[in-house]
Amino acid sequence: MKKVLTKMPYANAHVRIGADGTVVLVSYRTDVVIIDKDGWMRVTGLYSATTRRHISRFMEEYTDKDYYFAKKLYTDGVRYNVNTGEVKEVA
């Protein structure tokens, strides 16, 4: 299923929700933030200023964290479990 970001409905971004519960922020045509079926969130890049705004809105709508948390995940090379709060290196 494909959903638009509530606060940016006309943006070049959408959220793809898989049948298994995977949630993916797609900015333009790039998977940017991925939350897998087990709750592990990873950020694939920060890309452009526009994509960073997409990440910010996604974080507001789908997590209890903000853009700066997503940025730290990416720069530290770690992933975060939205269910348990665990942090691990990206595999």
C-beta of residue 2 within 8 angstroms of C-beta of residue 9: no
Per-residue pLDDT band for 36 (boundaries 50, 70, 90) equals very high
How far apart, in whole angstroms, are the C-alpha atoms of residue 24 and residue 91? 18
Per-residue pLDDT band for 11 (boundaries 50, 70, 90) equals confident
Pick from 64, 21, 27, 24: nearest CA to 41: 24
Per-residue pLDDT band for 7 (boundaries 50, 70, 90) equals confident
pLDDT of residue 91 exceeding 80: no
Report pLDDT digits (tens) over 56-77.
999 999 999 999 999 999 999 9
Per-residue pLDDT band for 90 (boundaries 50, 70, 90) equals confident
Prediction pTM value = 0.93
Tokens for 47, please give them. 């890309």
